[in-house]
Amino acid sequence: MKGGQREGRREKMEGRWKLCLLPVILGFVFAQTSIAQPATPDIVVSVKFGEGGGRGEEHMPESLLGFPDSTARENVPTIDPAQVLSLGLGGEIILRFEQVVIVDGPGVDFTVFENAFIYRIGEKDRIYAEPAEVAVSRDGSVFTPFPFDSLSLEGCAGITPTFGDMDPGNPEASGGDGFDLAELGLDSIRFIRIRDVSEIVKGNSSHPFYDVTVNGFDLDAVVGIHTVRNGFVSDVEEDVFVESWPYSRGAKQLQLDLRAQ
């Protein structure tokens, strides 16, 4: 075999080896960057209560930064103030994921748990819904809302009961309302804003979900399903809220850690 041919064959073999290794390398990178365990938010960035809101305020942020209340069932809503926070009519809350970023994976990327429940009038089952618009953001200032239907409430949070005895990381089983970033064309987000829109139900006695006692969204939990640990998504904007985080798990320590970096 001539030197040139041998050289050519060696390059070809190396090329094949590299091709063989490619899936292994890609698999490793994939395993490193995704998919982390289901994750919950780390920080309540801000809360604005609407009329009738504020119940459970003394238990936040802890009440909102874990998995949903394990005792919640489809006809036994969570009313424990240590588990849910009432936003009130038109109230709003912004949550931040600090340790992970939520990314667009197949299907639902995060689930919002309220205390919607099923009740019976005559022979008919009805859902007691206190709906909210859900919006997401990468940087904490520009939010993109998920569209919703004001009659069917499809696209809102606060319409599907919670199955607290099921895996909160499995949207098929957990209940709650799931949101898919692909619907907005976004690949990753860090902030979730939940804004009560119960007025569209309460203010219209012919609305399919009308109930005179509706008084605003009650947040139990938010769970990120597709998440990536911090540092693996470099293009997510850092925020400007460090100085003003009012409610977070170990807020002070987190600020010190970040400043030290």
Is 218 a binding residue for Ca ion by CB under 5 A? The answer is no
In the complex, minimum distance from the CB of residue 60 to Ca ion, in angstroms, rounded to a whole number: 9
In the complex, minimum distance from the CB of residue 226 to Ca ion, in angstroms, rounded to a whole number: 6
From 40, 83, 115, 227, residue interacting with Ca ion (rule: CB under 5 A) = 83
Closest CA to 134 of 94, 74, 77: 94
Q: Mask of contacts with Ca ion, 232-261, x by CB under 5 A? A: ------------------------------
Cβ-based nearer residue to Ca ion, 40 or 202:
40
Q: How far apart are CA 24 and CA 191, in angstroms?
A: 33
Structure tokens at 166: 């099921």
Q: What stretch of H or E contains 61?
A: none
Query: What's CA 92's distance to the chain center, in Å?
Result: 15
Is 220 a binding residue for Ca ion by CB under 5 A? The answer is yes
Query: What is the total count of residues that contact Ca ion (CB under 5 A)?
Result: 8
CB 226 within 8 A of CB 105: yes
Q: Which residues partner with 204 through β-bridges?
A: none
Is 80 a binding residue for Ca ion by CB under 5 A? The answer is no
Is 180 a binding residue for Ca ion by CB under 5 A? The answer is yes
In the complex, minimum distance from the CB of residue 14 to Ca ion, in angstroms, rounded to a whole number: 38
Backbone phi, psi, residue 229, to 5°? -65, 150
Q: How far apart are CA 18 and CA 111, in angstroms?
A: 40
Residues within the interface to Ca ion (CB under 5 A): 63, 83, 104, 109, 180, 182, 220-221
